[in-house]
Structure 1
Amino acid sequence: QGGRGVLRLKAAAPRGLFYAWQSMVQVLNANRTEDGFSVPVFSIRDVPRVEWRGIMLDVSRHFFTMAEVKCMIDTMSLFKLNRLHLHLTDGPGWRMEIKKYPLLTSMSAWRVPLANGEWNWQEVKLAIQEHDPEATYGGFYTQDQMREIIAYARSRQVTIVPEIDLPGHSYAAMHAYGDLICDGVDFPVEGKKGRDAVCMGRPETLRFVKDVVDELKAVFPPGSPIHLGHDEVSAEAWKKCRYCQNRLKDLNETDLKALSRDFLQQIADYVRKDGYDAIVWDEAGELEADKHIFVMAWRGNDFAAAAARKGHPVILAPCSHFYFDYYQSSAPTEPKAIGGLIPLRQVYGYELPELSPEEASKVRGLQANIWTEYLYDMGLVEYMAWPRALALAERAWSDCDPRDYKSFRSRAALALKLLEKLAVKYRPMDEED
């Protein structure tokens, strides 16, 4: 409108103008000619379907540089994905500088390279001393580097979501600071066999987590969500730990879940001070903790629906559709993945859980998760993400018909040409897709 060769963009807020321009980039790319662009007269009125349109990148199992993370942010923002969730800690590595606890990065950010390059958690050997000469694989983000990533992302309308995975998946933290280990645990052996939950009874644990949260708040601006993990927590070590048993008595409880619930509630309360949101995986949604805690539902729609019915804000990240570390096809040429099969058509066909209007209002968004056991470089991450992330992006932005896959596929083909120009790797679509 307004004359030949003119694009007129109008929005209620600067963010809207950013997204309008991203739409124009895609329109122009789809109508490129030898002489420039041949674009018919058109008008678009557009609003996002859901607020949270995310991708989780696991940087614990394999570390990715600032430049690689920034490249991912660029690509996400092009398709209006607006949350990059960084899984900063897990058993195989701690990736965020915490100044009060320097061993987290001088020891637990580094490991001895695996002899054959094949992922095997049982064989991971973290540094046994600071600057261990054998532990050369890994890395971490300094607080200044993370601030730079946050600012870079913000300029592209992407929010960085840090995750400190607790109380399970805490082997790296326990490796650096033994005061977090339960009484009676044969560490490190048992730490790699599921008994990797921090002690619920030692006062050092709560102090440690609050100190970590304090430093996250010094880096991440108010309004940022802080993910507290709480998935796949084994309570085995708590059964015989005198500290945990004493804490259970103090709570006047007998069920070990009470330890998890008490711990989560204390940390979530601490996180929410100063205007931060607390997020957990859906296992924690079963603990009857504060309903203001966001629940990220990875185990499927039933768990998402249960959390929404309890009043929790919910982010849908089902492993049935949005785990992008799963295989994209059954072809033997696919790179090694952790298992499962989620082809592109399946991602696009995702249906939200059946909820009442009130419950549906609790759904904040959709997110894909990329765990990196076998994804040791960014090229592999990109191959696993695209074009599946295009399907996620469209379903999260538009109230489109998930059965109209053919129409989506034609748009995806154009988007892949754009990725190619940007030197972003992707899996080519084939007839099976």
Structure 2
Amino acid sequence: MRKSWRTAVIAVAVLLSIPAAAAPASPVATVVPGVERLLPKPVEAKASGRAPFTITEDTRVVARGGARPVGDYLAALLRPATGYRLPVTSGHPGRGDIVLDLGRGKAPEGHGGEGYRLVTDERSATISAETPAGLFLGVQTLRQLLPAWVESRVRVDGPWRVQAATVSDYPRFAYRGVMLDVARSYLSVAEVKRYIDNAVRFKINTLHLHLTDDQAWRIAISTPQDNPSGLDYEALTRVGSQGGSDRLGNGTPLGTGPAIRGSYTQRDYAEIVAHAKSRFVTVVPEIDGPGHTNAALAALPRLNPDGVAKPMNNTADVGYSTLDANSEITYEFTRTVYSQIAALTPGPYLHIGGDEAHVTGHENYLTYIRRLLPQVAALGKTPVGWNEYADADLPPGAVIQVWRAASMEKVLRQVARGAKVVMSPAPTTYLDQKYEPSSPIGLSWACRNACDFDTYYNWEPVRDGLTESDVLGVTAPLWSETIRGLPQAEWLTYPRLVSAAEIAWSPRSARDLTDFTARLATLGSRLTIAGVNFRPSPAIAWTTDITTPDRHTRGPLRGEIGHFTAPATTPPTATLTYGDGTSSPATVSPATPAGPLAAPGLWTVTTPDHRYPHPGSYRATLTVTTPTGTATTHFTVTVRR
């Protein structure tokens, strides 16, 4: 049964954090996406042409054994929009069920780790995999094959159809990451968790957390009982968390206001790690050194050779700080910090930074890396570091995160010794760069002028002498000098992170910019409905998803007729054909706030009063014209006297 119109209006308004008076009416899911629109592009996907699968009030999620957590996740995704119970059961599958089939030989051959198969027809939707991670990735594909309104947190009228198709899919690279810099400007635990939830839509499986830098120290470290140097580790967050990247070194303000301050308790960090694990995401914590350490040097005076605390520095300057590579207190400090971080991090990696240590001195830098690597190994972790740490002799299996091409000769030398590479070339993966010179936030040192999704798509990780087996994967870093909160982080992230996700997931031979641009067109509606901010690139012909519930009236037809998604900065127009031989322009108004960092995506359609000549049923038509085209939908108006 459809909710009352006003109830749905209020619920959607709460969901989108917009005034109830501006909220759209209860929508109806109509558009059925096809496999040709999937992001990232799967290895194999083919529509069968048969009748679609439909989720109904009788649908169950059948998930046996280890598939149960993924089944619970899927049901929780689908319940709000569908309004269905969708019980999760281990019983025998029946007609109309969604089946999660976990077992040996279920994934594409040779790709058991994250591979999956998805088969949909009128009888069922079945995801098969050899691991829960594979099932989870298959769920993300099924999610995209449902109408975009499946992302709604309030009930939406169906039908909830899925194209009949077969998908066989697996990743190109095992490491598909995004980096959040929470040091220069803080994001709350809830914001980090929401960022994870949105990134996994595109099969991202690694979150690199940049926890410390010159500007701030964000993670609590407790003072151990065995503390020969007497360092007050609690000062790391008591003092170090009070900084942020507020301005350039010349005093020019950064961002839309001061950087956000804050820190994570160890319980907070553990909550992030646990949430990531539930989404099959590995957290890679970074404690940078020996450079990028001013916040630590300000909080702990004894880390400085003269025993005097450095002043906090809230500029975006880099390269001026260093730990003392010849002091035993330094290595007592790193041992304490890394042992506590490692204990909270079940993943295999610890990121030790190593970049831009300009004042450390080359020999001191090598000393620091040589002393740190055994500490990481003793904790049972694999070290990760930026390009520069390839200057040292790294152990086999060490991971080098390549952000600049200048030192590739040294990187290749370490690869020959058994190191692996994660590619993060700044000009094509740094998400903090301005889209264009006029962008209100972002930097422009790495990518200048044209830095949209296409620039981030047109590059290849296997390059500069590397082979396919040398490359562990790709990470897109989001530095936060100009970011103030999650909506701004999302605006810089999307759609560019999707470019990185497809490079990391899809076969190289399948990638095509024209095809990718066409597939991005439907993403705007999905993100809009989910409440995810993004930049509506003018290079994308964003599709329009119109929703119009049937109407019953005893008087004139008036008020809100429906709404539509259209990520456009130019106001769209709409025309109503009432089904009685008459038509009229409709009023279109934004249902979500617009601004330089939030383009309107949801629009409300309102009709002037229209009185039908006779009682009866009328087939009305709403036509919407946007900068990227025209879309039409029909609805029934039942007039009673």
Does TM, normalized by the shorter one, top 0.5?
Answer: yes
For residues 57-68 of structure 1, the aligned pairs below 5 Å read 57-68=180-191
* Correspondence for 2:171: 48
Judging by fraction of residues, say which structure has more strand.
Answer: 2
Matched, 1:278 2:396: no
User: Identity over the aligned pairs, expressed in percent?
Assistant: 30
* Correspondence for 1:120: 248
Distance 1:136 1:345, change over 3 A: closer
For residues 6-85 of structure 1, the aligned pairs below 5 Å read 6-29=124-147, 35-85=158-208
453, 458, 463: which one aligns with 1:344: 453
Q: Which amino acid aligns with 2:189?
A: M
With structure 2 as the length reference, what TM-score do the two structures score?
Answer: 0.58
Matched, 1:258 2:363: yes
Q: Which amino acid aligns with 1:398?
A: S
Gaps of 5+ in 2: 1-118, 151-155, 224-232, 253-257, 542-641
Gaps of 5+ in 1: 125-134, 239-255
Measured after TM superposition, the shift of residue 42 of structure 1 is: 1.3
Distance 1:371 1:193, change over 3 A: closer
* Correspondence for 1:248: none
* Correspondence for 1:366: 474
Take 2:206 and 2:348, find their aligned partners in 1: how far apart are those partners? 10
For residues 344-389 of structure 1, what are the alpha-carbon distances to aligned partners after superposition, in whole Å with 9 as ceiling and x for unaligned? 11111112243678x4312100011111111122111100000001
RMSD (CA atoms): 2.9
* Correspondence for 2:215: 92
Measured after TM superposition, the shift of residue 57 of structure 1 is: 0.8
Aligned partners of 1:325 and 1:338 also within 8 Å: yes
322, 329, 336: which one aligns with 1:211: 336
Distance 1:5 1:36, change over 3 A: farther
Take 1:54 and 1:24, find their aligned partners in 2: how far apart are those partners? 22
SS in structure 2 of the partner of residue 99 of structure 1? coil
Distance 1:121 1:268, change over 3 A: farther
215, 232, 242: which one aligns with 2:356: 232
Distance 1:430 1:5, change over 3 A: farther
SS in structure 1 of the partner of residue 137 of structure 2? helix
For residues 74-93 of structure 1, what are the alpha-carbon distances to aligned partners after superposition, in whole Å with 9 as ceiling and x for unaligned? 00111110111111000110
Take 1:23 and 1:335, find their aligned partners in 2: how far apart are those partners? 34
Q: Comparing both chains, which one has the higher relative contact order based on Cα–Cα distances under 8 Å and sequence gaps of 6 or more? A: 1
Take 2:249 and 2:122, find their aligned partners in 1: how far apart are those partners? 60
For residues 22-421 of structure 1, the aligned pairs below 5 Å read 22-29=140-147, 35-100=158-223, 101-111=233-243, 119-120=247-248, 138-183=261-306, 187-188=310-311, 194-221=319-346, 223-235=347-359, 256-300=361-405, 303=408, 305=412, 307-330=414-437, 332=438, 334-339=439-444, 340-341=447-448, 342-354=451-463, 359-401=467-509, 404-421=512-529
Deviates more, 1:189-198 or 1:41-50: 189-198
Take 1:409 and 1:198, find their aligned partners in 2: how far apart are those partners? 46
Measured after TM superposition, the shift of residue 39 of structure 1 is: 3.6
Judging by fraction of residues, say which structure has more helix.
Answer: 1
With structure 1 as the length reference, what TM-score do the two structures score?
Answer: 0.84
Take 1:86 and 1:370, find their aligned partners in 2: how far apart are those partners? 10
Measured after TM superposition, the shift of residue 3 of structure 1 is: 5.2
Aligned residues, how many? 396
Aligned partners of 2:394 and 2:419 also within 8 Å: no
For residues 316-342 of structure 1, what are the alpha-carbon distances to aligned partners after superposition, in whole Å with 9 as ceiling and x for unaligned? 000010011111124x2x223211332
Aligned partners of 1:305 and 1:353 also within 8 Å: no
* Correspondence for 1:250: none
Distance 1:2 1:216, change over 3 A: closer
For residues 147-177 of structure 1, what are the alpha-carbon distances to aligned partners after superposition, in whole Å with 9 as ceiling and x for unaligned? 1111111001111111101000100000011
Take 2:121 and 2:443, find their aligned partners in 1: how far apart are those partners? 53
Take 1:10 and 1:346, find their aligned partners in 2: how far apart are those partners? 35
Q: Which amino acid aligns with 1:214?
A: S
Q: Which amino acid aligns with 2:531?
A: A
Aligned partners of 1:89 and 1:165 also within 8 Å: yes
Measured after TM superposition, the shift of residue 417 of structure 1 is: 1.8
